[in-house]
Amino acid sequence: MIAIGVPAEGKDEPRVGITPETVKKLVKAGAKVTVRSGAGLRSHFSDQEYTDAGAAIAQSDADAVADADVVFTVRRPELSLAKAMKKGAALIGMLDPFSDAEGLDALAKTGVSLFAMELMPRITRAQSMDVLSSQSNLAGYKAVVDAAAAFERALPMMMTAAGTVPAARIFIMGVGVAGLQAIATARRLGAIVTATDVRPAVKEQVASLGAKFIAVEDEEFKQAETAGGYAKEMSEEYKKKQAALVADHVKNQDIVITTALIPGRPAPKLISKEMIESMRPGSIIVDLAAERGGNTELTKPGEIAQHKGVRIFGLLNLPGQVPVNASSLYARNLQAFIEPFIDKETKALAINWDDELAKGTGIARDGVIVNAMVAERLGGKGTGAAKADSKPARAARTPTKTGPAKQANGRKAPAKNGATPKEGKTT
Ligand code: NAD
């Protein structure tokens, strides 16, 4: 019988990797689940609810994971947690695979298998396991709600006997999962919404949500989407044209939400200091790319920066600010990932390392780093660097000190998905 253990997260992480709902489903699938006392409290899941769902409660993290075949976390845990786990057990979470490679290597050396959910291939079969989507969606929503709360004016147009309150203008830059939800949320709140992206495919999606699409639509724009559905780094010439368009547009906006990311690269700088100075005092920018360096020149990750009356929110972990939903979706992502690896007859853990989902997310096995890009970042020094799989996993979403992602052979890694999805992308 598979044993699943869930520790409490660190003090900065309100989310949790399992919910009473997923405990129930996993127990039904044959698992024995142990949850650290209080692990769900910041997402408002009590020990009693976990117990009612069929979980055992442990009084320490070490006790929660000691007998587990699989441990679910939200963030990369401390080394001590991996040391408390059985050798060969699987640690599954958002392990931030492309930062602090040495830290990851130390985790690997404990002999636990590491799976980074951020590396889930974006193929149809894995949609229910896609943590980037489930969390970005909530981030897009929360960005608009935060901006609306901080904005000292109303968002919808109001026609009153005392006169008309104009609708606020909200501009969404980058229309991926977060951007689409930001548009939908801003529209529901009654704002006039415009949006931009470098991928032509989003034009229709923007229009279908009732927003206006603006972009430099030249020949390069028509080719800006990779086979995997992601953005390419644009040429200097395109960036200049885009900057002129954005400069002209941004000065009339009340709120700007930026979400633009390029796999394996730092976030593109889309809003300059001058553009911020052109905005009216009281305007707000929420930069969802803050964790990757930010889309504006003045973003300070983790802070609210102020410049000439304009506030720039560089807040981190927005999904963690809606932890009830974020935990619920994340826990379902984990449940969907592990269930196919529970043997139907014996109910034991049976990870098929040839499965493309295990291959895509697997970083370490038997003390060896098996992800080529992590190995590359270790510069051949790490436990398994020499033995690393030569096939790259998809490129990093987290900024790296070493610049663009490279394969072990020194060439630039293909965007996002090292293993080309067999089933093609979906949206
Ligand atoms: P992302 O987080 O990588 O980037 C956010 C957005 O920023 C993207 O739309 C990108 O085009 C845009 N961007 C990049 N550079 C820009 C620039 N210079 N100017 C303006 N915009 C810029 O994107 P995401 O949310 O991960 O989504 C990317 C794609 O993946 C979308 O097509 C999405 O529908 C698709 N997707 C597929 C699956 C699946 O198949 N399971 C799941 C989720 C998303």
Q: Encode pLDDT of 297-322 as tens digits.
A: 999 999 999 999 999 999 899 999 99
Mean pLDDT in residue range 399-408: 33
Ligand 1, residue 201: give the atom nearest the CA. Answer: 32
Ligand 1, residue 261: give the atom nearest the CA. Answer: 4
pLDDT of the residue at 379: 79
Mean pLDDT score across all residues of the chain: 89
Write out the two tokens for 391. 């096939």
Write out the two tokens for 395. 């490129």
Of the candidates 99, 127, 272, 321, the residue annotated as catalytic is 127
Distance CA 167, CA 154 (A): 7
pLDDT at 228 over 70: yes
pLDDT at 116 over 80: yes
Write out the two tokens for 192. 């006039």
What is the CB < 6 Å shell around ligand 1? 122, 127, 130, 132-133, 136, 173-179, 196-199, 229-231, 234, 259-263, 268, 270, 425-427
Is 238 considered catalytic here? Answer: no
Is 254 considered catalytic here? Answer: no
Q: From ligand 1's centre to the CA of 199, what distance in Å?
A: 8
Q: In one letter, which amino acid is 49?
A: E
Distance CA 346, CA 45 (A): 30
Confidence of residue 135 (pLDDT cuts 50, 70, 90): very high
Residue having the nearest C-alpha atom to atom 8 of ligand 1 = 176
Is 130 considered catalytic here? Answer: yes
Of the candidates 61, 69, 105, 130, the residue annotated as catalytic is 130
In this structure, the number of other CB atoms found within 10 A of the CB of residue 427 comes to 12
For 44-78, what is each residue's pLDDT tens digit?
A: 999 999 999 999 999 999 999 999 999 999 999 99
Is 223 considered catalytic here? Answer: no
**pTM, full prediction:** 0.88
Give 266's contacts (C-beta < 8 A, 6+ positions apart): 292, 293, 399
Residue 72, SS3 per DSSP: strand
Is 52 considered catalytic here? Answer: no
- H or E segment to which residue 32 belongs: strand 32-36
Ligand 1, residue 175: give the atom nearest the CA. Answer: 9
Confidence of residue 375 (pLDDT cuts 50, 70, 90): confident
Residue having the nearest C-alpha atom to atom 9 of ligand 1 = 176
Ligand 1, residue 126: give the atom nearest the CA. Answer: 41
Q: Answer whether 196's CB lies under 8 Å from 173's CB.
A: yes
Distance CA 365, CA 374 (A): 13
For 252-303, what is each residue's pLDDT tens digit?
A: 999 999 999 987 788 999 999 999 999 999 999 999 999 989 999 999 999 9
Confidence of residue 425 (pLDDT cuts 50, 70, 90): very low
For 147-172, what is each residue's pLDDT tens digit?
A: 999 999 999 999 999 999 999 999 99
